[in-house]
């Protein structure tokens, strides 16, 4: 297997295994968010966007002959075993995502994700994968800073649910703004970051997709 016509989550995970990298190291190697790598493990059939295809092409092309040979064996093994099959590398992981509802006076922090064929979600609250052994509150604060440049502190848990669109287990937290200018710190995954009026959130996210406790918190927050 010398060339990859179209990268899928399965092939991306095979490349990760060939490089012998855990999720966070592979994400750093590609310059993307860890949640994207975790999504590939959870959905091996997902087809990454064109920009991501190019990143994977570059990593593959720069790989050593040994890594390429290992990748070919792993990819072939995954193809034979079918969707979701392992190949001696990282196993598919159950996704848990921390969602930060960061409030600053009459505004709430939001990020605009690049189009994703699997979910169709565009505007969202800052979010990040909760790694094994990491507290959800810690992931919330860290991912918000990494994604938007905003420092925040968790005020309270708003509960959890399976997201109605993605099917991912989500943990929601109401956070207060501490410092930092909102900026797009993850240009591969996101288009924009902004402070939106609290009373205008439903213009960006359909009401039926918003976790009800979030709507209540946005109304009740002083």
The answer to whether position 174 is within a domain reads: yes
- Ranking 7-21, 28-42, 117-131, 143-157 by mean pLDDT, the lowest is 117-131
Provide the token pair at 5.
């016509």
The answer to whether position 91 is within a domain reads: no
More confident: 171 or 190: 171
Query: What's the pLDDT score for residue 189?
Result: 77
| 111 and 188 assigned to the same domain | yes
173, HSE (Cβ side, Cα atoms, 13 Å): 27
Domain with 133, as residue range(s), is: 96-220
| 63 and 162 assigned to the same domain | no
List pLDDT tens digits, range 47-63: 888 888 889 999 999 98
* pLDDT (average), residues 3-16: 87
The answer to whether position 4 is within a domain reads: no
The answer to whether position 3 is within a domain reads: no
Instruction: State pTM to two decimals.
Output: 0.62
| 161 and 101 assigned to the same domain | yes
Which of residues 51, 81, 111 is at a domain's end? Answer: 81
Under 8 Å CB-to-CB from 142, ≥6 apart: which residues?
128
- C-alpha angle 26-60-82 in degrees, rounded to nearest 5: 80
Query: What's the pLDDT score for residue 2?
Result: 55
CA dihedral 138, 140, 146, 152 (to 10 degrees): -90
Number of domains in the chain: 2
Ranked by mean pLDDT, the top range of 12-16, 92-96, 113-117 is: 12-16
| 59 and 111 assigned to the same domain | no
Query: What's the pLDDT score for residue 83?
Result: 46
List pLDDT tens digits, range 105-163: 999 999 998 765 445 558 899 998 888 788 999 999 999 998 899 999 999 999 999 88
| 40 and 120 assigned to the same domain | no
The answer to whether position 90 is within a domain reads: no
Q: How many CB atoms lie within 10 A of CB 67?
A: 16
| 164 and 136 assigned to the same domain | yes
Q: What is the mean pLDDT of the chain?
A: 84
């Amino acid at each position: 297997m010398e060339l990859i016509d179209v990268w899928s989550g399965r092939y991306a995970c095979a490349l990760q295994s060939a490089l012998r990298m855990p999720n966070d190291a592979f994400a750093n190697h590609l310059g993307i968010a860890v949640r994207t790598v975790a999504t590939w493990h959870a959905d091996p059939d997902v087809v990454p966007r064109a920009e991501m295809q190019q990143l994977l092409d570059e990593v593959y092309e720069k790989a050593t002959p040994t890594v390429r040979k290992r990748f070919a064996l792993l990819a072939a093994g995954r193809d034979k075993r079918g969707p979701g099959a392992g190949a001696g590398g990282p196993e598919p992981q159950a996704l848990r995502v921390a969602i930060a509802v960061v409030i600053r006076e009459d505004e709430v922090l939001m990020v605009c994700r690049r189009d994703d064929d699997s979910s169709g979600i565009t505007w969202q609250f800052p979010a990040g994968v909760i790694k094994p052994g990491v507290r959800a509150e810690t992931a919330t604060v860290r991912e918000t800073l990494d994604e938007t440049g905003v420092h925040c502190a968790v005020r309270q848990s708003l509960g959890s649910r399976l997201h109605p669109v993605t099917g991912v287990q989500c943990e929601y937290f109401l956070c207060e703004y501490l410092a930092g200018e909102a900026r797009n710190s993850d240009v591969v995954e996101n288009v924009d970051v902004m402070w939106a009026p609290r009373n205008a959130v439903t213009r960006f996210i359909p009401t039926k997709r918003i976790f009800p406790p979030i709507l209540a918190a946005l109304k009740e927050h002083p």
